[in-house]
Structure 1
Amino acid sequence: MRTICFYFQVHQPLRIKPYRFFDIGDDHYYWDDYSNKSIMRKVAQKCYLPMNALLLDLINHYNGAFKVSFSISGVCLDQFEAYAPDVLESFKKLVATGHVELLSETDGHALCALKSKDEFTRMVKTHKEKIKKHFDGYEPRVFRNTELIYSDSIGATVAEMGYEGILTEGAKHILGWKSPNYVYQNSIKPELKVLLKNFQLSDDIAFRFSNKTWADYPLTTDKFVRWINNIPKEEETLNLFMDYETFGEHQWADSGIFEFMRALPNAVFNGSDFGFSTPSEVLKGAKMISTIHVPTPISWADEERDLTAWLGNDLQDEAFGKLYELEEKVKQIDDAEIQRDWVYLQTSDHFYYMCTKFFSDGDIHAYFSPYDSPYDAFINYMNVLSDFILRVDKRIKEKNAK
């Protein structure tokens, strides 16, 4: 039987409060607690709680034949603890069914894989410990990096950490004529299996579902099943990867997105030769067809599927560079608040808000940003970073003076 692998990214950043130049050296708390709590509770009511309840119903109704997987960022887990313990409990109920897989990632939903192998491996270990703590000793075996960022060398590092597989984007410029509907292997560490997102069918749900100007609107389960039946029979794995906030937040409830998901398993079981599997089950059951070569990092963001959503313009590069200049100093400091802020300041969203792209991708960036412009995002972040640098330097001086 061919299989559908659903993967959902669950992430909410800790947003920085308005932080003025005159706050530098005086105010050392950077986080907008009111906004973070308000947004978390809003998304919980619109997405997390109703969608978790729906998935639990489907898993129970189909006796485990319906399965999904999640990666939940560490910064999101921290906010569940603080603002939405009911959401955390609902995820625990899903995992307890035995038919939901949790994936590893970086604790801070960070871009550290692009800059520091040490920081990357440290953050992955921290995230792994958080998953263990919250989910009764659960140990993920499959990895997905922040925003599905992947390259041959990142994959090799992930393999060294003992993971069986990794998820990434089925980018056209990497695949060429190949299909994303197979299992591939890393070019440096061939024991690491690579699952690729089918971005066409994933984005039909995640981005186009409620778009009334889309030629295929409205998307029904019957139509979707017809499409997957058109996939060549030898292509055994359909990877549908998307933000979990697709359900109820990006695609509102009145679009019919919840009804679509509730009806999809029945349509698949009765109208196709597909079933559902978790990433680990896919990796166990499917054979690798070939090596995939990704010398330059890819991601699942924007039209280019590269890193330009977060890095590449002068604002992003200056902020990113200044932040990671602090790594060696921060390692020497035994201070819980500095270590916390170090992790949260690495969250990729801060750099995403500084993106200066225009046209369609620019619209998407503006939708997610709490700032009026990328320049406001940069100024606010750099003010905070300036204060953080002062704190770090002060602690290093105190340490050296002992």
Structure 2
Amino acid sequence: MKTICLYFQVHQPFRFRRYRFFDIGNNHYYYDDYTNESILVKIAQKCYLPTNEILLKLIKANKGKFKVAFSISGVAIKQFQLYAPEVIESFKKLADTGQVEFLAETYCHSLVALKDKDEFKRQVDMQVALVKELFNQEPSVFRNTELIYSDEMGDMVYKMGYKAMLTEGAKHVLGWKSPNYLYCNSINPKLKVLLKNFVLSDDIAFRFGHKGWSEWPLTPEKYTQWLKDVDAKSEVINLFLDYETFGEHQWKETGIFEFLEGLPKEILKHKEFSFSTPSEVAKNLQPVSAINVPYPISWADEERDLTAWLGNEMQEEAFNKLYALLPKVQKCTDPKLIDDWTYLQASDHFYYMCTKYFSDGDVHAYFNPYESPYQAFINYMNVLSDFTLRLNAVVPENEEDENISNLSNLLAEKEAKIAELEENIKRLREKQKKVEKKLI
């Protein structure tokens, strides 16, 4: 018996507006609201809403035999609340079926697991709280940003209370081993590890609509045969995909929705197959061995490592300067600063700075608001510079910061006084006009 574990990632970042050098210290609003709203609404109409509707029909039609899992970043949920609340309602309908599992992840889809355990836990707890509030589920399985995983991270995640974690079935990690079994963490064997079958996943996510592909067109029957051709001893086939695969990466015109509608029915015709959520896989299967991942892996690009985000000097500088602020941020109580800090950490900002232009170039161009990685770097560093000034003013650590803080407070007080006086003048002028009218 082989079980299919179908999981989808849902994430969209808050993109920054063009933030110029002369904005630093003068304008503290960093976000491109128009772009964020237009992109989110577009994807909701093309992907989230129609795909959720299809999944709901499939779940009801297959009466408990068809199951899926999602991880939805907190910043994606925030944008649904702002721009497309109907998307949240459609996810709630899926949750109400009892056949959909929601996983834990970092709130802002960040790389913080590489830097700080406490900040990592804070972000995960934020996202989990949202999942509980909206979908009435308490996640027991963890999916880190872009499936980033290492032995050390797995141990950290287990100590946070999670029973299983998802990651990439990377060739350089697996060697001769198959991703089609359950594994465990090499430091803490109590953490179960589910590995993505990247060949079968990418057949849908990347190759489906490519007419130059030798297997085009891909049908439910053909795909099911491929699943049957997998080694008979295999126990689980993990198909992990970006949710935007449906209707956005692969447009409706490719037939992707018809493929999705027909696939579960075709798979379930064969008694050797079933569908399971990640927590069911972790509960029902026994790990065949530990998986050794001393250095972080991910599901990004051909290398399956961190070079998509930290592969050049610009990315490293931005990343390190950001987290150099963490000790001060931990002392900060200003909610607006904490929000901006959270959104600054989204991995997408570093992804836009990537200088890969070959096989993976098109992937990095997806909804990228910048014309070049250098422009992305400059824009981000300008935002970070302004954020640093604000943070230093609120959490001064030396005499210079204290002076800046005092001056900022004085300026704020003066601006408030000026605004109050201007309002008084306005009222007096209106009163004077009324008196003059009566005299006339």
TM-score where L is the length of structure 1: 0.98
Alignment of 1:390-401 (within 5 A): 390-397=389-396
Larger Rg: 2
1:141-171 deviation line (CA, Å, top 9, x unaligned): 0000000000000000000001000000000
Deviation of the 1:304 alpha carbon: 0.2
**Aligned match of 1:117:** 117
Q: Deviations over 1:345-391 (max 9, x none)?
A: 00000000000012111222123411100001001101100000000
- Listed as ranges, the matches of 1:187-206 within 5 Å are 187-206=186-205
Structure-1 residue corresponding to 2:36: 36
**Stretch of structure 1 that moved more, 81-90 or 121-130:** 121-130
CA distance in 2, matches of 1:64, 1:40: 31
Name the residue aligned to 1:347.
346
- Range that drifts further, 4-13 or 114-123: 114-123
**SS in structure 1 of the partner of residue 289 of structure 2:** strand
Question: Which amino acid counterpart does residue 322 of structure 1 have in structure 2?
Answer: K
Cα drift, residue 187 of structure 1: 0.5
Q: Residue in 1 aligned with 2:334? A: 335
2:289 is the counterpart of 1:290: yes
> 2:343 matched to 1:322?
no
SS at match of 1:167: strand
Tell whether 2:384 aligns with 1:385.
Answer: yes
Q: Using CA pairs under 8 Å that are at least 6 residues apart, name the structure with larger relative contact order, 1 or 2.
A: 1
Q: 1:10-34 CA deviation, whole Å, 9 max, x = no partner?
A: 0001000011000000110101111
**3-state SS, counterpart of residue 200 of structure 1:** helix
Secondary structure of the residue aligned to 2:366 is: helix
For 2:217 and 2:26, the matched residues in 1 are separated by: 54
Q: Name 2:151's counterpart in structure 1.
A: 152
CA distance in 2, matches of 1:312, 1:394: 33
> Counterpart in 1 of 2:208?
209
Q: Match for residue 51 of structure 2?
A: 51
State the 1:271 CA deviation. 3.8
Corresponding residue number in structure 2 for 1:76:
76
Alignment of 1:2-401 (within 5 A): 2-136=2-136, 138-271=137-270, 273-397=272-396
Using the TM superposition, give the Cα deviation of residue 225 of structure 1 relative to its aligned residue in structure 2, in angstroms.
0.9
Residue 155 of structure 1 aligns to which amino acid in structure 2? G
Equivalent pair of 1:229/1:272 in contact (CA under 8 Å): no
Q: Secondary structure at the match of 2:360?
A: helix
Q: Give the Cα–Cα distance (whole angstroms) in 1 for the partners of residues 275 and 249 of structure 2.
A: 24
Q: What secondary structure is seen at the aligned counterpart in 1 of 2:379?
A: helix
For structure 2, the 5+ residue unaligned runs are 407-440
Provide, for residues 147-205 of structure 1, a one-character-per-residue CA deviation record: whole Å limited to 9, x for no partner. 00000000000000010000000000000000000000000110000000000000000
Instruction: Describe the shift of the 1:368–1:308 C-alpha distance in structure 2 as closer, same or farther (beyond 3 A).
Output: farther
SS of match in other structure, 1:3: strand
Q: Contact (CA 8 Å) 1:225, 1:272: kept in 2 or not?
A: no
Output the aligned Cα RMSD: 1.3
Number of equivalenced pairs: 401
The 1-side partners of 2:366 and 2:159 are apart by 37
Following TM superposition, where does structure 1 have runs of at least 4 consecutive aligned residues deviating by more than 3 angstroms? 398-402
Superimposed CA distance per residue, residues 210-259 of structure 1 (whole angstroms, 9 cap, x where no aligned partner): 00111111111111011111111110100000100000000000100000
CA distance in 1, matches of 2:236, 2:52: 24
Shift of 1:128: 1.0
DSSP-derived class of the 1:367 partner: coil
Residues of 2 paired with 1:40 and 1:3: CA distance? 33
Identity of aligned residues (%): 63
What is the deviation of 1:133? 1.6
Distance 1:69 1:47 in 2: 16
Give how far 1:272 is off: 5.6
What is the distance in 2 between the residues matched to 1:361 and 1:69? Answer: 27
What one-letter code is carried by the residue in structure 2 that aligns with 1:317?
Answer: E
Give the counterpart letter for 1:41 in structure 2.
V
